[in-house]
């Protein structure tokens, strides 16, 4: 199911002229051929059947059951068709705005598809405030507002990195900037040989520098202060980078915890064996 909000659907239906069961200026046969050429799907197959089988209802059913990527691809093809065969140089501004909205929705769907699970931005059972922070970020990303979420994403990373350091007993100063705190964690990873490849260490070291520039974006391109917001595409790029970094760190932490548990279990087994062999005899 494509992640289309109620607002998305209303905008798309308006742009595509779906009132009365239509989709743009397609006849039934043209609509079938267009969708087949665009995404290699028979829109009139039983999979998309509904009560009326109007073009608009077939498309609504398509939105309900197909992936973000498939829906985004078809939306982009609709825009290309509209600009080529319908839109004129003197078209009203709302028509141009409709094209832009359609492309924007398609871009978000593609971004959702490439990002994967935005639930990687998660809270903490012990902190209600951190849970609220994570929830608000996820809501803005889901609602296609990465630019609005930038300042809180920076705050989230600050808390996240401090929690990592606390968990691993890594000292830091409360006034240490985000990139330096993450640098302390990366040093711990390197010193304890917790990753296998030099390339992974290089990527993590590069992330320290990336987070340094994140400080600047937060201070000068977000709602943290009275600023003009960073543009949509760059904001989404930042979110994708941060979310991918979090996916890796979370996986690494799970591995570290598993290794610690295995070491403790092995130590307990060795102690039990030692006690059995060399412990005090009952006589």
Contact status, residue 217 vs residue 226, Cβ threshold 8 Å: no
Q: Are residues 111 and 124 in the same domain?
A: no
DSSP labels, 245-256: HHHHHHHHHHHH
Q: Are residues 265 and 137 in the same domain?
A: yes
Q: Using alpha carbons only, what angle is made at residue 185 by residues 179 and 189, rounded to the nearest 5 degrees? A: 135
pLDDT band per the 50, 70, 90 thresholds, residue 190:
very high
List the beta strands (DSSP E) in 193-250: none
Query: Is 218 within a domain?
Result: yes
Query: Is 275 within a domain?
Result: no
Query: Is 277 within a domain?
Result: no
What backbone torsions phi and psi does residue 127 show, to the nearest 5 degrees?
-135, 105
Which of 70-74, 121-125, 202-206 shows the lowest mean pLDDT across its residues?
121-125
The count of structural domains within the chain is 2
Q: Are residues 156 and 255 in the same domain?
A: yes
pTM of the model: 0.61
| Residues 6 or more apart whose Cβ sits within 8 Å of residue 266 | none
Mean pLDDT computed over every residue of the chain: 90
Query: Is 103 within a domain?
Result: yes
Cα separation, 244 vs 141, whole angstroms: 15
Q: Are residues 105 and 149 in the same domain?
A: no
Q: Are residues 135 and 250 in the same domain?
A: yes
Contact status, residue 165 vs residue 172, Cβ threshold 8 Å: yes
pLDDT value of position 69: 77
Look at residue 46 and give its three-state secondary structure: helix
Q: Are residues 28 and 77 in the same domain?
A: yes
Q: Are residues 23 and 99 in the same domain?
A: yes
Select from 63, 91, 115 the last residue of a domain.
Answer: 115
Q: Give percent of the chain above pLDDT 70.
A: 93
Query: To which residue do tokens 């007993």 refer?
Result: 169
DSSP labels, 145-199: -HHHHHHHHHHHHHHHHHHHHHHHT----TT--HHHHHHHHHHHHHHTT-SS-HH
Q: Are residues 136 and 87 in the same domain?
A: no
Domain membership of residue 104 as a residue range: 6-115
What helix, strand, coil percent values describe the chain, rounded to 5? 75, 0, 25
Query: Is 1 within a domain?
Result: no
Cα separation, 133 vs 41, whole angstroms: 41
Q: Are residues 243 and 142 in the same domain?
A: yes
Query: Is 45 within a domain?
Result: yes
Contact status, residue 260 vs residue 253, Cβ threshold 8 Å: no
Query: Is 171 within a domain?
Result: yes
Q: Are residues 160 and 245 in the same domain?
A: yes
pLDDT value of position 270: 79
CA separation, residue 243 to residues 10, 60, 95, 101, 141 (Å): 29, 31, 35, 25, 11
Select from 100, 115, 130 the last residue of a domain.
Answer: 115
Select from 94, 115, 136 the last residue of a domain.
Answer: 115
Q: Using alpha carbons only, what angle is made at residue 154 by residues 149 and 155, rounded to the nearest 5 degrees? A: 100
Arithmetic mean of pLDDT, 145-150:
90
Arithmetic mean of pLDDT, 164-170:
96
Q: Are residues 238 and 143 in the same domain?
A: yes
Tokens of 229: 């917001």
Cα separation, 17 vs 23, whole angstroms: 6
Q: Are residues 145 and 168 in the same domain?
A: yes
Query: Is 282 within a domain?
Result: no
Q: Using alpha carbons only, what angle is made at residue 185 by residues 207 and 131, rounded to the nearest 5 degrees? A: 85
Higher-confidence position of 79 and 113: 79
Contact status, residue 57 vs residue 28, Cβ threshold 8 Å: no
Arithmetic mean of pLDDT, 97-118:
81
* pLDDT per position as a tens digit, 30-84: 999 999 999 889 999 998 988 788 999 999 999 998 878 789 999 999 999 999 9
């Amino acid at each position: 199911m494509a992640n289309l909000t109620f607002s998305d659907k209303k905008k798309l239906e308006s742009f595509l002229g779906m009132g009365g069961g239509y989709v743009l200026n397609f006849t039934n046969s043209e609509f079938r051929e267009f969708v087949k050429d665009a995404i290699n799907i028979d829109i009139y197959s039983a999979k998309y059947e509904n009560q009326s089988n109007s073009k608009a209802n077939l498309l609504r059913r398509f939105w309900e059951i197909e992936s973000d990527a498939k829906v985004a691809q078809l939306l982009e093809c609709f825009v290309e068709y509209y600009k080529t065969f319908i839109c004129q140089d003197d078209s009203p501004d709302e028509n141009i705005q409709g094209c832009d909205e359609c492309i924007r929705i398609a871009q978000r769907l593609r971004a959702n598809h490439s990002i994967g699970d935005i639930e990687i931005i998660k809270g903490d059972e012990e902190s209600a405030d951190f849970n609220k922070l994570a929830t608000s970020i996820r809501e803005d990303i889901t609602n296609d507002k990465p630019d609005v979420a930038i300042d809180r994403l920076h705050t989230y990373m600050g808390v996240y990195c401090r929690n990592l350091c606390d968990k691993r007993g890594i000292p830091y100063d409360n006034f240490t900037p985000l990139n330096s705190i993450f640098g302390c964690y990366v040093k711990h990873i390197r010193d304890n040989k917790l990753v296998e490849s030099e390339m992974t260490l290089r990527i993590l070291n590069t992330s320290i520098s990336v987070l340094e520039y994140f400080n600047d974006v937060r201070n000068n391109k977000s709602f943290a202060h009275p600023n003009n917001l960073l543009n949509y595409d760059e904001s989404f790029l930042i979110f994708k980078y941060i979310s991918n970094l979090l996916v890796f760190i979370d996986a690494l932490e799970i591995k570290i915890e598993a290794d610690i548990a295995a070491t403790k279990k092995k130590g307990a087994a060795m102690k039990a064996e030692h006690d059995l062999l060399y412990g005090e005899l009952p006589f």
